[in-house]
Structure 1
Amino acid sequence: MAVQSLESLYTEHQDWLQGWIRSRLNHVEHAQDLTQETFIKILMKGREHELSSPRAYLSSIARGLLVDFFRRRTVEQAYLDALEIEPEQHTMSAEQHHLIIDTLLQIEQMLDEMSERGRHIFLLAQLDGLSFAEISRRLNVSVPTVRKHFIRAMTQCLLLLEDSP
């Protein structure tokens, strides 16, 4: 395995990585941005890298960034679709728009980290407005079980709020 500095990794593989990302996005500017993000992620690790397969390493990091990119785009599109349904259009700054999308992504991540039952209980209570007793009957579990899962979910929400700027 050869030890490679970030500079040599960038010099030798940046063009290849950008092409690899562009082939998955079909968008030059996004490919450039994600290529730079890949190298920034490596830079943040702050060490030289022993790599037997630098391209596999780079594509692995870039693949994670692509997943994040597509997830963000999906959430953003769902948000824009929801705004179109609103009877009155609200104007907002680009900063407000980005803050809302970031918050939605954090909520999505929080929901992904919950157990399936916990997520289901939380969504039934919050989105459908069901009481613990109604959720208990619907899911055929005890009210204390519903309460326990709901409290865990709300705790995660509070931690999310605490961590936000």
Structure 2
Amino acid sequence: MSRLDSSAPDFGAVLYVQHHDWLRTWLRRNLPSSHDAEDVAHDTFVRVLRARVDAQLREPRAYLATVARRLVANFHRRRAIELAYLEVLASLPEERVPSAEVQAVMCERLTELDAMLDGLGRKVKQAFLLAHFDGLAYPQIAERLGVSVRTVQNHVATAVAHCCLLMD
């Protein structure tokens, strides 16, 4: 493929025309439906255009694939969160199941929390979730994770501080 100059006024249009079909086909192999592939392809182009790439793209498909891979990973993480939430809802008595609107908001919040906790160590994330979502006491968490109660306190404090920094 030819080099694309991202400073050209029609960069986005040329990039889209030359590579959209390829990207959508590539994504279709990694996503459950053609609609999902189309959505992620769209999001990929939006991200690339917002990034305002300064240098000329020597390998536009490689660049698009890198951005798309991250979006596919996010897609699968979000799907896993939604499925776990739906499992919890299925276990509730009918009168305790929230409205569809509340469910949508909760899925969005859970996805945001997952993104905020991303980058923390596995045990730090686990300690936080066990304390705040499962309601376990620190000694129970320490036993489950095979660490001291003091370590659990440090893990939860680390996770809370991390989330607070990201919220500011």
TM-score, normalised to structure 1, is 0.78
The answer for the alignment partner of 1:40 in structure 2 is 46
Taking the aligned partners of 1:91 and 1:129, their CA distance within structure 2 comes to: 24
Q: In structure 2, do the counterparts of structure 1 residues 30 and 49 end up closer, same or farther at CA, with 3 Å as the change threshold?
A: farther
Q: Is the counterpart of residue 130 in structure 1 residue 130 in structure 2? A: no
* Cα deviation code 1:54-73 (max 9, x no counterpart): 11111111111111111111
> Does the CA-based 8 Å contact 2:4-2:60 persist in structure 1?
no
TM-score, normalised to structure 2, is 0.77
Deviation at 1:93, TM superposition (A): 3.7
After TM superposition, the structure 1 = structure 2 runs for residues 1-40 of structure 1, keeping only pairs within 5 Å, are 2-4=3-5, 5-40=11-46
* Cα deviation code 1:15-38 (max 9, x no counterpart): 111111122225222111111111
The answer for the alignment partner of 1:83 in structure 2 is 89
Taking the aligned partners of 1:152 and 1:108, their CA distance within structure 2 comes to: 15
Deviation at 1:14, TM superposition (A): 0.8
Deviation at 1:6, TM superposition (A): 1.9
Structure 2: gaps (5+ residues): 6-10
The answer for the alignment partner of 2:8 in structure 1 is none
Deviation at 1:154, TM superposition (A): 2.5
Q: CA RMSD in A?
A: 2.7
Deviates more, 1:123-132 or 1:49-58: 123-132
Aligned residue pairs total: 159
Structure 1: gaps (5+ residues): none
> Does the CA-based 8 Å contact 1:6-1:48 persist in structure 2?
no
Q: In structure 2, give the amino acid aligned to 1:17.
A: L
Q: Is the counterpart of residue 150 in structure 1 residue 151 in structure 2? A: no
Taking the aligned partners of 2:43 and 2:143, their CA distance within structure 1 comes to: 48
> Does the CA-based 8 Å contact 1:118-1:149 persist in structure 2?
yes
Secondary structure of residue in 2 paired with 1:21: helix
* Cα deviation code 1:78-128 (max 9, x no counterpart): 11111010012534244x333211211122233333233433433443325
Q: In structure 2, do the counterparts of structure 1 residues 78 and 21 end up closer, same or farther at CA, with 3 Å as the change threshold?
A: same
Taking the aligned partners of 1:53 and 1:36, their CA distance within structure 2 comes to: 19
